[in-house]
Amino acid sequence: MARLLEVNNLKTYFFTDEGVVRAVNGVSWHLDEGETLALVGESGSGKSVTAMSILRLIPNPPGRIVDGTVLFEGKDLLKMSDSEMRSIRGNRIAMVFQEPMTSLNPVLTVGAQIREALQLHLGLDEDGANARAVELLELVGIPEADQRIKDYPHQFSGGMRQRVMIAMALSCNPKLLIADEPTTALDVTIQAQVLEIMARLATELNTAVLVITHNLGVVARYADRVNVMYAGEIVESGSAIEVFKRPRMPYTVGLMASVPRLDATEKVRLATIEGQPPLLIQEIQGCPFRPRCDWAIDKCATDHPELEEKEPGHWARCHRNPQTDERTRMPAGAAAAGN
């Protein structure tokens, strides 16, 4: 598979009154054509900032990309002019965000908005754009599409609006789709509808997808590979199957064990990760996860671990191996498990 996107040592900082927030602190990863990569991690770990950096949508001030390259089809997005970037955004690189109401213009009909995108990016005429817009709505399962196209966004349900966003995002046959919590606000049955449509279209068009989500089930179902973020860094990366089966970084171990499984017949006590992630304003000594880690040793307080290839294609940032090494501390919550 051909390399589509390559992020190298990306650093995005926010310069605030309280200090410098190192939101994304030197991340490197890649995405191949047609591949689906999931980005997971604790709230505030830098997932959205990573996505916004690729799209060059970081508010400045206070934010700035201070270092790194983002190669898309071999060209560095960070070096492009604003107008070059605008022609790529919404065209070669499409995006879907969490709240569809804010991404659609409330005073324009749904049809007008899809037509505009099609005319702008594909150069279709009025009639051509209209016909294609109806087709797209039908494609994402909106009944009576030729009528509904005259409606305004508020006349659509949340799930329908999100499907419209996906239709618009995929209307220009993008090479890359960035979806940041695309279904978090939706009900489970609607989530399933929307995600199935997204996955099907991506496969048909050979679109690569970067999906940011808190839902590990969604990762398990759709992602080829997973990147786990913690405190602005990638702490684990590998195939979804490997990362779920044998997580190599204690944060990932905790994350996996803290979600109840839908297919669990026995009641087991959930694992917890006590404490808080570090403030990104402070310079961090050693491993950022150390204060919350059940496997921490002395070295973790002083040496910042590198992202190492632990198994072929499976990378982790950890001095220990939680699959084989003994814990140095009882897992949080285990003491109370007796009652």
Partner 1 sequence: MTIQTQTQSSKAYESTVKHGETLVDVQGLKMYFPVTAGLFIQRKVADVRAVDGLDFKVTKGETLGLVGESGCGKSTTGRALLQLYRPTAGTVNFGGTELTKLKGTELRRFRRRMQMIFQDPFSSLNPRMSVGQIIGEPLAIHGLYKGAERRERIQYILQAVGLNPTFARRYPHEFSGGQRQRIGIGRALAVEPEFIVCDEPVSALDVSIQAQVINLLEDLQGQFGLTYLFIAHDLAVVRHISDRVAVMYLGRMMELADRNELYENPLHPYTKALLSAVPITDPELERKRERIILTGDVPSPLRPPPGCVFNTRCPIAVDECRERVPEWREMAPNHFVACHRV
Ligand X SMILES: Nc1ncnc2c1ncn2[C@@H]1O[C@H](COP(=O)(O)OP(=O)(O)OP(=O)(O)O)[C@@H](O)[C@H]1O
Q: Which of 2, 189, 326, 330 binds partner 1 (CB under 8 A)?
A: 189
Least distance to partner 1 from the beta carbon of 212, Å? 14
Interaction pattern, residues 308-327, with partner 1; x per rule: CB under 8 A: --------------------
**Contact status: 220 vs partner 1 (CB under 8 A):** yes
Q: Are 237 and 29 in contact (CB under 8 A)?
A: yes
Near ligand X by CB under 6 A: residue from 5, 36, 47, 136: 47
- Side-chain half-sphere exposure of 302, counting CA atoms within 13 A: 3
Minimum CB distance to partner 1, residue 47 (Å) = 12
Should residue 48 be labelled a site residue for Mg ion when binding is judged by CB under 5 A? yes
Q: How far is the CB of 11 from ligand X (least distance, A)?
A: 12
If one asks whether residue 46 binds ligand X (CB under 6 A), the answer comes out as yes
d(CA 276, CA 191): 30
Structure token pair of residue 326: 């003994």
Beta carbon of residue 108, minimum distance to partner 1 (angstroms, whole number) = 22
130 touches Mg ion (CB under 5 A): no
Kindly tell me which of 174 and 182 has the beta carbon lying closer to Mg ion: 182
**∠ Cα 197 199 203 (to 5°):** 115
Task: Rank residues 205 and 271 by Cβ distance to partner 1 and give the closer one.
Answer: 271
- First-last CA distance in the chain: 53
> Which residue from 59, 82, 127, 267 is in contact with partner 1, where contact means CB under 8 A?
267
In the chain, at which residue ranges do the beta strands (DSSP E only) sit?
3-16, 19-32, 36-41, 63-72, 75-76, 93-96, 176-180, 208-212, 225-230, 233-239, 308-311, 314-316
Q: What is the DSSP string of 264-278?
A: --S--PPP---S-PP
